[in-house]
Amino acid sequence: MSSGKTILVVGSGGREHALAWKLAQSLRVEKLYIAPGNGGTKLLGENVPIVATYIEKLTAFAVERRVDCVVVGPDDALALGLIDVLRAKGIPAFGPTKAAAEIEASKVFSKQFMAEAGIPTAEFKTFSDYEAAKKYLASRSAPIVVKASGLALGKGVFVCETMSEAEEALQRIMAEKMFGAAGAEVVIEEYLDGQEISLHVFSDGVSYSLFPTAQDHKPIGENDTGSNTGGMGTIAPLPWVTAEMLVEFEKRIVAPALIGMKAKGYPFAGCLYPGLKMSSGGVKTLEFNARFGDPETQSYMRLLKTDLLDIVEACIEGTLENVNIEWNPGFACCVILCSKGYPGSYEKGKEITGIEEAEKIPGVVVFHAGTKLEGEKLVTSGGRVLGVTAIGKTLKEALDKAYQAVGKIHFEGMYYRKDIGAKSLRYRP
């Protein structure tokens, strides 16, 4: 009899494909379920047709199939308390509790927490009254940032170059309620310029371990122009981040956040992902995410050397200090291929070809996000369709391989940014 474990990964994006890909390499994993998964995860395990926010159904499934461990990807499932419900049924689950996930799910909570804990962040004010918010806005000047407090599918942040844009954003969030209850409170904050950094930390609530740094590319267009997306590509690690900078991030952001959450009675176990900005006034925390970043995780899983199941179990059991987490040397990158029209409305059902050819290039792995299998045919089913990842001794080598692989892949209307990592290449000594 094998003593291998049964694992359930919750989510359907490139992040979940990357997590499932890494877990599938663990010698201790025998059976892998992905709910609901995508066209790529189907090749690694069994897709289960339950979406991430159906927490009762997911829990019933985990109990029935005697799942040994659940790894949760998406923010909304965490904010709904999936971890709490699973644990109440005795199922070990990786991720923060509903209370700890507030650090992402409520920007008002998160900003107030940062202020209390002395974590550097943009100057801000919070409002639940539209007239009061309008009055405050009238006393400020552009550029300025208006944010819906709740989860808004990554679309709740308005970086406004003019005051009329800011007024319109506020009106749409608070008066027209474009995000429903997620916009009942808003944060209005100072605009920060500078390079963005994605920091990730594994934590069991007390002990923690930092990942290498990464950088996402949020805007749809080259040179960071156009609408914000879920993320158009990532690189890791950032060649220009020094050991001194990492020590500062740990001391001023990571440690106070984890100590502060524990002191509040909501110890954070799982993956904490602070989004940082290197502004002219020093490092500032834009936000805390209570989960793995996407597409950051697609690059990260290519670099992680340690068995992901060992880490996940240690985070759940509170034994992370006993795990020596190792990352491979070199660099990884991910180039997102998306559907024409994304992040606006886009067409689906376009046939995808060339993935096999792309993966023949040494060091290349293609993760699926918005794909599904229609019989034998792989077709597009989402805005972000594929994440083409590559590793290399240098960042340039990784990027060259990824773009070479992109050249082999085709679907009608395929769009991608051609400058992923370009800014960081210029910083390379």
**Taking the complex as a whole, how short is the minimal distance between the CB of residue 155 and ligand GLY, in angstroms?**
11
**Taking the complex as a whole, how short is the minimal distance between the CB of residue 338 and ligand AMP, in angstroms?**
17
Quote the CA–CA distance of 172 and 155 in Å, as a whole number: 12
**Residue written as token pair 């122009």:** 225
Q: What is the DSSP letter of 212?
A: P
Among the residue ranges 27-35, 115-123, 169-177, 293-301, the one whose residues contact ligand GLY (CB under 6 A): 293-301
Structure tokens at 284: 């500032």
Burial of 3 (C-beta count, 10 Å sphere; 0-12/13-18/19+): exposed
Residue 363 contact, options ligand AMP, ligand GLY, none, Cβ 5-8 Å cut-off depending on partner type = none
Position 185 contacts ligand GLY (CB under 6 A): no
How many C-beta atoms lie closer than 10 Å to residue 130's C-beta?
14
**Taking the complex as a whole, how short is the minimal distance between the CB of residue 36 and ligand AMP, in angstroms?**
25
Position 215 contacts ligand GLY (CB under 6 A): no
Position 294 contacts ligand GLY (CB under 6 A): yes
Dump the DSSP string for 275-294. Answer: EEEEETTEEEEEEEESS--T
| Cβ contact 109:124 at 8 Å | no
Q: Closest CB to ligand GLY among 291 and 372?
A: 291
Position 191 contacts ligand AMP (CB under 6 A): yes
Position 16 contacts ligand GLY (CB under 6 A): no
CA angle 199, 28, 273 (to 5 degrees): 10
Q: Among residue numbers 196 through 235, which ones bind ligand AMP (CB under 6 A)? A: 196, 218, 228
Query: With b meaning 16 or more CB within 10 Å and e meaning fewer, what string describes 41-52?
Result: bbebbebbebbb
List 38, 289, 298, 389, residue binding ligand GLY (CB under 6 A):
289
Position 187 contacts ligand AMP (CB under 6 A): no
List 157, 170, 333, 365, residue binding ligand AMP (CB under 6 A):
157
Residue 294 contact, options ligand GLY, ligand AMP, none, Cβ 5-8 Å cut-off depending on partner type = ligand GLY
Q: Rounding to the nearest 10 degrees, give the CA dihedral for residues 113, 115, 117, 122.
A: 100
Among the residue ranges 91-99, 190-198, 235-243, 249-257, the one whose residues contact ligand AMP (CB under 6 A): 190-198
Position 145 contacts ligand AMP (CB under 6 A): yes
Residue 231 contact, options ligand AMP, ligand GLY, none, Cβ 5-8 Å cut-off depending on partner type = ligand GLY
Distance of CA 352 to the CA centre of its chain: 25
| Cβ contact 191:159 at 8 Å | yes
List 68, 296, 307, 313, residue binding ligand GLY (CB under 6 A):
296
Q: How far is CA 14 from CA 68, 133, 238, 294, in A?
A: 23, 37, 21, 7
Position 159 contacts ligand AMP (CB under 6 A): yes
Position 286 contacts ligand AMP (CB under 6 A): yes
Sheet of strand 124-127, all strands in order from the earlier edge strand to the far edge: 124-127, 186-190, 144-148, 157-160
Peptide bond into 120 cis (omega under 30): no
Cα first-last separation, the chain: 54
List 13, 212, 231, 256, residue binding ligand GLY (CB under 6 A):
231
Q: Closest CB to ligand AMP among 84 and 189?
A: 189
Among the residue ranges 112-120, 235-243, 291-299, 327-335, the one whose residues contact ligand GLY (CB under 6 A): 291-299
**Taking the complex as a whole, how short is the minimal distance between the CB of residue 412 and ligand AMP, in angstroms?**
30
Q: Among residue numbers 94 through 123, which ones bind ligand AMP (CB under 6 A)? A: 122
Structure tokens at 208: 């923690």
CA-nearest of 240, 198, 243, 226 to 334 is: 198
Among the residue ranges 24-32, 184-192, 296-304, 396-404, the one whose residues contact ligand AMP (CB under 6 A): 184-192
Footprint of ligand AMP (CB under 6 A): 122, 145, 157, 159, 189, 191-192, 196, 218, 228, 275, 286-287
Footprint of ligand GLY (CB under 6 A): 216, 231, 289, 293-294, 296
